[in-house]
Amino acid sequence: MKERLEALKVEALQELGGVQSQQELNELRIKYLGKKGPLTEILRGMGALSAEERPVIGQVANDVRAAIEEVIEAKQAAYQQQETENRLRAETIDVTLPGRPSPQGAVHAINKVVQQIEDIFLGMGFTIVEGPEVERDYYNFEALNLPKDHPARDMQDSFYITDEILMRTHTSPVQVRTMEASKGKAPIKILSPGKVYRRDDDDATHSHQFTQIEGLVIDRNIRMSDLKGTLLQFVRELYGPDAEIRLRPSFFPFTEPSAEVDVSCMMCGGNGCRTCKHTGWIEILGSGMVHPRVLEMSGYDPNEYSGFAFGMGPERIALIKYGIEDIRHFYTNDLRFLKQFLHV
C-alpha cells in the first residue's frame, strides 16, 4: 500500500508538472484529491490494515496528500498572479493624457455687474427681491403716482399686452409690490434687479430690453442724508475709496424731491476725459424720497414713515467699466465678445 501511495505521488507530481492551464489544474485537483480519487480510495481501504500498520500508512497518505496539495496551491497562486497582472495591463489608463475639454459657460458681463452690486447692498443689510416682468399697469404706473392721463407716461413708451398689462418699463413696480406685501410694516430695505422693456429703436446706446436695479428703504425718520450716505458708501465700494457723488435736482413722479446721482469719473478721477465728456462726472442713477402719495397708496402713513428709492442701469455701469462702445454687444451673443468676460 505504501508503494501504491508513493507511485501515486510520483504520477501526480509528474502530471502536475506538465499542466498548461487553470482548467487542467482544476481537473487534476479533482482527479487526485476528489472524493472519487485514488487517494480517497486508498484511505477507505485502511480499515483492512493491522493496528500497527494503520498509523504508518496513514502518515504516508497524509504526506502524499500534502505534497500534491502544495504543488496545486503553488500553481494556483501563480495563475492568480498572472491573471491580476493581465487585468492590470488591460485596464491601465494613461493619467498623463490631457483631458477632453468640455465647453464651459460663464456668467454674463451684465450679470457679473449685477452680482457685484448685489453683494455691496447685501453687505449693507438689504434683501434681494424680484418682481414679474409682465406687469399690471397699476404697479408699473398708477401706484407710482402716474395716473392714466399723466404726461410723464410719455417718458416711457411701453409694450402693452392688454390695456391693463404691459412689459414693465422699470423695476419701480417692485417698490409697490414690496410695500403692499409688507402691509404697513417697516423697515423695508430691498434691492431688486431685473429686466425691463421699452419701445426704443435699438442703437449703440438704446435697447428695447435692458436691466435695472431698484433700491427701496422705508422706515421712520428716513431722510435725504440717508439716501446720500447709502449711495456714497455704494460707489466707494464699487469704484474705490476716493469716489465722490453729487446729486442734481431731477423729477420722477414717484419721488419728491428727486435727484440724479453722478459719480466722479472713475477713468480720470474727476479731471475730465473722453468717458465723462470732460465734465469729471458720470450719471449712474435716478433717486429720490418716496412720494407721500406713493406711500399712502401702498398702505404706509406718510406722517409716520418716509423712505428713499433709487434705480440704476447695470448696462451703463458695465459699458463704462469695460469701455464698450455699443450696448447691442450685450445681447447679440457673439461668443468672441462674451468670451472676453470669462475671467474678469
Cβ proximity to ligand PHE: between 121 and 310 the closer is 310
Residues 52-71 vs ligand PHE: string with x where CB under 6 A? --------------------
Is residue 311 close enough to count as binding ligand PHE by CB under 6 A? Answer: yes
Q: Is the peptide bond before 193 cis (omega within 30 degrees of 0)?
A: no
24 is in an annotated binding site: no
Burial class for 286, CB neighbours closer than 10 Å (0-12, 13-18, 19+): buried
Stretch that binds ligand PHE, among 82-90, 239-247, 265-273, 308-316 (CB under 6 A): 308-316
Tell me which H or E stretch contains 140.
helix 137-140
> How many residues at the interface with ligand PHE, by CB under 6 A?
11
As given in the structure block, the three cell numbers for residue 256 are 419728491
As given in the structure block, the three cell numbers for residue 257 are 424731491
DSSP-assigned letter for residue 160? B
Query: In the 3-class helix/strand/coil scheme, how is 249-317 assigned residue by residue?
Result: EEEECCEEEEEEEEEECCCCCCCCCCCCCCCCEEEEEEEEEECHHHHHHCCCCCCCCEEEEEEECHHHH
Is residue 255 close enough to count as binding ligand PHE by CB under 6 A? Answer: yes
Residues 166-195 vs ligand PHE: string with x where CB under 6 A? ----x-x-----------------------
As given in the structure block, the three cell numbers for residue 93 are 489608463
3-class SS of residue 249:
strand
Instruction: Name the residue among 209, 207, 224 with its Cα closest to residue 287.
Output: 224
Is residue 309 close enough to count as binding ligand PHE by CB under 6 A? Answer: yes
Helices and strands, number each (H, E), in the chain: 12, 9
- Which one of residues 131, 194, 288, 314 is an interface residue with ligand PHE (CB under 6 A)? 288
Residues 257-286 vs ligand PHE: string with x where CB under 6 A? -----------------------------x
- Shortest distance in whole angstroms from residue 130 CB to ligand PHE: 16
Cβ proximity to ligand PHE: between 255 and 264 the closer is 255
Q: Cα 189 vs. chain centroid, distance in angstroms?
A: 26
Residues 215-254 vs ligand PHE: string with x where CB under 6 A? -------------------------------------x--
Residues 190-219 vs ligand PHE: string with x where CB under 6 A? ------------------------x-----
Query: With contact defined as beta carbons under 8 Å apart, do 286 and 297 qualify?
Result: no
- The binding site for Mg(2+) comprises 256
Interacting residue ranges for ligand PHE, rule: CB under 6 A: 170, 172, 214, 252, 255, 286-288, 309-311
